[in-house]
Amino acid sequence: MITNLVLLHIVGAFLSLALLASRGAMQLSGKDWRAVKLLKILPHLSDTILLTTAVVLAYYFGFSLWLGAKIACFVLYVIFSAKFFSKKAVKPNALFLLIAVFALIAAITLGYSH
């Protein structure tokens, strides 16, 4: 069961990264990704899977400094992707997208280093 949970967590992480990159590229090129229903729904679903499996795995394996670093990276990913994709932003700041992508990649990298 734990192996399946870890695999689901990994799939959720890479799906989140792929969706972030594709929506970010569309946003930067001026395409309306919000018009694509799947691109509005899937990021929430993949992040929910990612977060839910993370909570269960953290309960199973216990908290550590390594996990704290992953949580910090995830929080940065959420904050900066929300800033980048904000409807209030007249012109999206590419730096916010870059920080969000690097934060998510850092969290994924930490996962593989442990």
pLDDT tens column, 35-66? 999 999 999 999 999 999 999 999 999 989 99
**Count H helices, E strands: the chain?**
4, 0
Q: Are 84 and 33 in contact (CB under 8 A)?
A: no
Packing angle, helices 37-61 and 65-85, rounded to 10: 170
Rounded CA-CA distance 41/18 in Å is 14
pTM of structure = 0.93
pLDDT band at 113 (very low <50, low <70, confident <90, very high): confident
Q: Are 20 and 43 in contact (CB under 8 A)?
A: yes
